[in-house]
Amino acid sequence: MNQPFSPMGKPVDRVDGRLKVTGGARYAGEYPEEGLLYGSVISSTIASGRVVSIDISEAVKVPGVVAVLDHTNRPSLASYDENYEDADSADGSPFRPLYNDKVLYSGQPLALVVADTLELARHAGSLVRIEYEQQPHETDLQAMLDSAYDAPAELPPPRGNFEGELASSALSVDVTYSTPSEYHNPMEPHASTVLYQADGSLQIHDKTQGTQNCQDYLHKVFGLEKDKIRVLAAFVGGAFGSGLRPQYQLPLAVMAALHLKRSVRLTLTRQQMFTFGYRPRTVQRLRLGAAANGRLLAVGHEAIGQTSRFEDFSEHVVEWSGMLYKCDNVQLTYKLVPLDVFTPLDMRAPGAALGMIGLECAMDELACALAIDPVRLRLTNYAERNGNEDKPYSSKELRECYTQGAERFGWARRNPEPRSMRQGRQLVGWGMAGGVWEAMQMKASAKARLDADGSLVVSSATTDIGTGTYTVMTQIAAESSGIDVENVTFLLGDSSLPTAPLQGGSFTVSSVGTAVQQACQALQRQVLEVAKGLHPQFAAVTPDEARFESGNLYLGDQVLSMAQLAASQASGVIEVQVDAEPDKKREAYAAATHSAVFVEVLVDEDLGTVKVSRVVSAVAAGRVVNPKMARSQILGGVVWGMGMALHEEAMLDHDLGRPMNHSLAEYHIPVNADIGDIDVLFVEEHDEIVNALGSKGVGEIGIVGVPAAIANAIYHATGKRIREFPITLDKLL
Paired residues of 195 in beta bridges: 203
Q: How distant, in Å, are the alpha carbons of 176, 318, 413, 695 from that of 282?
A: 10, 11, 35, 32
Do residues 213 and 88 make contact, with C-beta atoms less than 8 angstroms apart?
Answer: yes
Contact yes or no for 135/322 (Cβ under 8 A): no
C-beta of residue 183 within 8 angstroms of C-beta of residue 264: no
At residue 62, what is the residue type? V
Q: Which of 85, 315, 438, 700 is catalytic?
A: 700
Q: Which helix (H) or strand (E) holds 103?
A: strand 102-103
Rounded distance between C-alpha atoms, residue 392 and residue 399, angstroms: 15
Local structure of residue 325 (DSSP, 8 states): B
CB-side exposure of 683: number of CA atoms within 13 Å?
27
Let me know: does 130 contact 42? Beta carbons within 8 Å. Answer: yes
| 700 given a catalytic annotation | yes
Residue pair 493/235 in contact (Cβ under 8 Å)? The answer is: yes
- Taking each continuous run of H as one helix and of E as one strand, the counts in the chain are 15, 33
CB-CB contact of 172 with 287 (8 Å): yes
Using CB atoms within 10 Å of the CB of residue 279, give its burial: 0 to 12 exposed, 13 to 18 middle, 19+ buried.
Answer: buried
What is residue 173's three-state secondary structure? strand
* Cβ(669)–Cβ(646) below 8 Å: no
Q: How far is CA 292 from CA 142, 172, 360, 362, 716, in A?
A: 35, 10, 19, 16, 22
- Give the residue from 634, 599, 633, 592 showing the smallest Cα distance to 406: 599
User: Among candidates 275, 273, 267, 269, which has minimal Cα distance to 38?
Assistant: 267
**Helix intervals (H) in 550-626:** 562-567
Q: Where are the alpha helices (DSSP H) in 568-687?
A: 627-646
Torsion angles phi and psi, residue 370, rounded to 5: -90, -10
Sheet bearing 129-134, strands edge to edge: 102-103, 49-55, 129-134
Q: By the 8 A CB rule, do 533 and 545 touch?
A: no
Catalytic annotation, residues:
700
